Amino acid sequence: MPKFITGQPVPNVRLGFIQDDQVRFVSAPSLFAGRRAIVIGVPGAFTPVCTHQHVPDFVRNADRLRASGYDLLVCIAPNDPFVLRMWSGNLDPDGKLRFLSDGNLDWTTALGLGSTERDLCLGQRSQRYMLNIEDGILGRLRVEAGILDFSCTRMEAVTELE
């Protein structure tokens, strides 16, 4: 299984989203080229920690992150793009974050951030993480000990990524 390596280019994978009621794709290298980004990875849309803590924390602080120099704020989830459209509309109606589907787990697998969550009936998922990307290059990564944990991926930890 590939692993996350700081200083390497982002994986050459596609991430999905809905536009004009159609599934569209963006390649990770083109998305992150020339951008300073914070990415939060979540185990699943509509799950309790993601919905009530992790994503709202970043939505609330999106303007502050942009003011500090991040021009792209992304939430990547292992759900299909249709689910992500509904979930993002509930949590972020003003579109402060970009929600992208890793429904095939290509991004998650390429970074070695997969997790099997059988006890929660979630199956194959992503770990909860936060990372920075500078001009398409993987930066610092923080990964929670478990998908129900929310400590090292809080918004306050962004400064520790720099």
Q: Domain holding 66: CATH number?
A: 3.40.30.10
Task: State residue 125's pLDDT score.
Answer: 83
Q: Is residue 6 part of a domain?
A: no
Distance CA 59, CA 66 (A): 11
Active site residue 121: no
Give the count of domains, the chain. 1
Q: What is the reported pLDDT for 2?
A: 56
Q: Which residue among 50, 75, 121, 152 is the active-site one?
A: 50
Distance CA 10, CA 100 (A): 15
pLDDT given at position 145: 87
Low-confidence ranges of the chain (pLDDT < 50): 1
Which residues 6+ apart lie within 8 Å of 119 measured at CB? Answer: none
Is residue 6 within 8 Å of 139, Cβ to Cβ? yes
Q: Is residue 135, in this structure, part of any structural domain at all?
A: yes
Task: Give the domain extent around 42.
Answer: 14-161
pLDDT of residue 1: 47
Question: Looking at residue 149, what is its pLDDT?
Answer: 84
How much is the pLDDT for 137? 97
